[in-house]
Amino acid sequence: MDKIIVNGGNPLYGEVEIGGAKNAVLPIMTASILTPGIYTLNRVPNLRDTRTMANLLEIIGAKVTYEKGTMVIDSNSCNNPTAPYDLVKTMRASFYVLGPFMGRFQHAEVSLPGGCAWGPRPVDLHLKAIEALGGTVSLESGNIVADGQLKGADISFDISSVGATGNALMASAKADGISTISIASKEPEITSLAEFLIKMGADITGLDSDKLTVVGNPNLKGDFEFDIIPDRIEAGTFLIAVALCGGEVTLTNVNPNHLNIVLSKLSEVGVKLDIGEDTITVKAPKKINSVNITTAPYPGFPTDLQAQWMAMMSKCDGSAVIIDEIYRDRFTHIAELSRLGANITLEDNVAVVTGVNKLKGAPVMSTDIRASASLILSSLAAEEKSEISRVYHIDRGYENIEEKFRNLGADMYRISK
């Protein structure tokens, strides 16, 4: 297994280009199953998760090619609406095939994902949406089996779920009649998925709000090109890295509007920001002010940046409170950040980080995508050498991360075993 070695202590200077959003491209890839066609997706990041999704599409019967950020999906010969356990267990986003399977085949067999490092992570809301649209759902040998010709209906979630909103949108886009989705997720990745479905011929209104109305179209059309939005979580990771390590960096291919809360919290930290149309220049503060965060659905502070924020606060002036309200168990990084010298206590879903003057390199282990990012950030800010193992987690969500940091002056490399 690969390891990343970091000799910390260097400030970061230069320019970094942000890639296409992982959490936008994954549902869009599955949406290509909804109706036969050839889809060209631009700015697709080369990630372990996009490769896993491409494998899944091939099992379903699609042809997928990828070159220099352009992915072409030919979904004309899709004929196998199944998502096997082997793939779903490595990537929960595989569950996004449920809505498209029902729309195209009126049948779906999708392995139940099970738990993960962040706790139980149920899929009840996804199933509720399919049932509301008239599908039948059962559990057979660990697989969700769904059947039925879906019809427009009112779907009301109890809480905002990105994945369930995505599945509900895709299923209702092809269902005859009008659907409404209440307490819908407002994440930019959901708006982007809706825009992809609109290009297919669906009529969707209420974009960026928590109530979406979908006039389904059983005759959706494929064969078009679509640009993937910039990854706001990768962007946030680099912004926080500069604040923590020192220096001045310009991010390109970024949508600052998707980062409002993160940018306003970074200003409180003392970071200087120069915001352009699709660029952000970040200049590190002399000292890191302590700033509390509580994660919440968009436009709130993203849970996917909670671990990185904690890494930054471990060198703050004072103490900061970090609460995760979305994934109450998403704190496996605390034990590893502590190995680097961070002072963090945890009670339920509330972490208190007391800033230390210096962090010191150590061997640490990645436990999930964003936890790995927090370890890289802390190692970059720590004195001496760190060795990060299980980096396959980081490869799920960050393209060329060591090269991008090296270009900014970091001393960081990978050992492949």
| Sign, Cα dihedral of 63, 98, 219, 22 | negative
Per CB under 6 A, does 161 bind ligand UD1? yes
The answer to the question of residue 114 lying near ligand UD1 (CB under 6 A) is: no
**In this structure, what DSSP letter does residue 253 have?**
S
Cis peptide before 299 (omega within 30 of 0): yes
- Residues between 210 and 239 that touch ligand UD1 (CB under 6 A): none
Nearer to ligand UD1, 160 or 179 (CB): 160
Residue 383 beta carbon to ligand UD1: minimum distance, rounded to whole angstroms: 31
- Output the smallest distance, CB 417 to ligand UD1, in A: 28
126, 174, 315, 333: which one binds ligand UD1 (CB under 6 A): 126
Question: Cβ of residue 4: shortest distance to ligand UD1, in angstroms?
Answer: 21
Locus of tokens 């569950």: 95
Yes or no: say if 111 and 118 are a contact pair by the CB < 8 Å rule.
no
H or E segment to which residue 414 belongs: strand 411-415
d(CA 273, CA 311): 20
Where is 87: in which H helix or E strand?
helix 85-88
Binding mask 4-23 for ligand UD1 (x = CB under 6 A): -------------------x
3-state secondary structure at position 221: coil
On the 0-12 / 13-18 / 19+ scale of CB atoms within 10 A, 79 is exposed
Cα separation of 180 and 213, whole Å?
Answer: 4
Among 100, 163, 247, 341, binds ligand UD1 (CB under 6 A): 163
Is 116 annotated in the active site?
yes
Query: Is 164 one of the binding residues for ligand UD1 (CB under 6 A)?
Result: yes
Give the 3-state secondary structure of residue 288: coil
Which residue stretch of 40-48, 124-132, 350-358, 381-389 sits at the interface with ligand UD1 (rule: CB under 6 A)? 124-132
Give the nearest distance from C-beta 343 to ligand UD1 in angstroms: 26
Query: Which of 51, 121, 151, 385 is the binder for ligand UD1 (CB under 6 A)?
Result: 121
Neighbours of 158 (CB within 10 A): 9
Q: Give the dihedral sign, CA 264/265/271/275.
A: negative
Q: Which of 78, 168, 288, 326 binds ligand UD1 (CB under 6 A)?
A: 326
Q: What token pair was written down for 218?
A: 């059983």
The span of 62-70, 122-130, 208-216, 251-259 binding ligand UD1 (CB under 6 A) equals 122-130
Closest CB to ligand UD1 among 304 and 399? 304
The helix (run of H) or strand (run of E) holding residue 322 is: strand 319-323
Residue 36 to residue 279: CA distance in whole angstroms: 37
CB of 281 to ligand UD1, least distance (A): 27
Residue 196 and residue 31 in contact, taking contact as beta carbons nearer than 8 Å? yes
Interface size with ligand UD1, residues (CB under 6 A): 20
Q: For residues 284 and 269, what is the distance between their CA atoms, to the nearest angstrom?
A: 9
Nearer to ligand UD1, 164 or 410 (CB): 164
Q: Choose the stretch contacting ligand UD1; rule: CB under 6 A; options: 100-108, 161-169, 260-268, 309-317.
A: 161-169
Smallest gap from Cβ 228 to ligand UD1, in A, equals: 13
Question: Smallest gap, in angstroms, from Cβ of residue 345 to ligand UD1?
Answer: 23
Beta-strand (E) ranges in 8-150? Answer: 12-17, 38-42, 63-67, 70-74, 82-83, 107-111, 136-140, 143-147
Q: Which of 16, 60, 93, 153 binds ligand UD1 (CB under 6 A)?
A: 93
Q: Would you count residue 122 as binding ligand UD1 (CB under 6 A)?
A: yes
Catalytic positions = 116
> Contact residues for ligand UD1 (CB under 6 A)?
23, 26, 92-93, 121-126, 159, 161-164, 189, 303-304, 326-327
